[in-house]
Amino acid sequence: MDREAQLIERIAKAVPSIRGAGRGGGIRLGIGDDAAILTPGLRTEWVLSCDAFLEGVHFLTKNYPPDSVGYKSLVRAASDLAAMGAMPRIFLLTLALPARLTGKWLGEFVRGMARAARLLGMRLAGGDTTKSATVSISITVLGEVARGLAVTRSGARPGDILYVSGRLGRAQLGLELIKGGGSGTPARVLRSHSRLLQPHLYPKIRVELGAWLARHKIASAMMDLSDGLSTDLARLCQASRVGARLWADRIPCVKLPAVRTGPLRKLRLDPLQMALHGGEDYELLFTVRRKQVKRLRSAPDFAEIAAIGEIERGKGITLVGADGRGTRLDPGGWDPFRRKS
């Protein structure tokens, strides 16, 4: 067996996967041929997305635990499926990495990916591996949703209430800790601030909530928060051709620890700014028609859902402060091509 085939075999053994002929669930052939074969059912639609996770852009191999890279690369891709209300099913992995990382690093990477796959109920159905100077991961995910029930970004209407799950800015706090820890001390920061780093290194996504909102036709529009509320809400508004008012004091913001040690002593952190512009929370942002709002009480994670604003006619987002004054909110989240100002 050639070395590339050995590597694929090793990954397929460690991660939940479909090798050779599949056993139902819509997948007739998995890893080991030119392509996977999918046999669709009559009552479902498939939802398809892909996501890049790159060393030097999204993570650094020297600062990040390899199992976090494996875990997060799959979870962030699957988050796009949850945001449509679909159940994640299978994924394809394109992995390019330096030969020196094919030992221990790859073993831990795969362990993290396997954990994410088990949590999400996903199986690997194919991929491509090659060597390269830096680690480059691209993941294609496929999910299933009942026909006609997928929730897009474009269904929000004036008067709809805007909701978000979870607290925002938690992933940004983790990123600041890793950056603030300096390049020499990542291991120490990983130990001392382990709990605060979880949302950045091992994000959780809202698959059950997304599927529930789709199944019960409660969300009129939905997306996941990957690039920051200010940027992602602007995208939802643009797709729906509406504007929005955000109530600043209703936005659930990251909680900063009362006692600040290590890099936290030096960092100037503003929870509202982190919640508005911090990326990678992978929480759900969705809109609900006013007459449907009551039904939300039966939602999974209901206690973690907050109404943070409303959809209105026009364009743009207005941030309304506690004093009732509104200011225009421009997208300030993650944009990989923005020029530094």
DSSP 160-203: PEEEEES-BTHHHHHHHHHHHT-TT-HHHHHHHTHHHHHHHHS-
Give the position of tokens 């509320």. 229
Q: Which is nearer to its own copies, 36 or 196 (CB)?
A: 36
**What are the Cα distances from residue 39, in Å, to 27, 128, 147, 151?**
6, 22, 15, 23
How near is the Cβ of 251 to its own copies at its closest, in Å?
A: 21
Q: Which is nearer to its own copies, 117 or 145 (CB)?
A: 145
How near is the Cβ of 20 to its own copies at its closest, in Å?
A: 8
How near is the Cβ of 196 to its own copies at its closest, in Å?
A: 26
DSSP, collapsed to helix, strand or coil, labels residue 49 as strand
Residues in the chain: 341
Q: Which is nearer to its own copies, 192 or 238 (CB)?
A: 238
How near is the Cβ of 262 to its own copies at its closest, in Å?
A: 30
Q: Which is nearer to its own copies, 39 or 327 (CB)?
A: 39
Sign of CA dihedral 240, 242, 246, 250: negative
Q: Which is nearer to its own copies, 195 or 337 (CB)?
A: 337
How near is the Cβ of 193 to its own copies at its closest, in Å?
A: 27
Give the position of tokens 């989240």. 333
Give the position of tokens 């659930």. 252
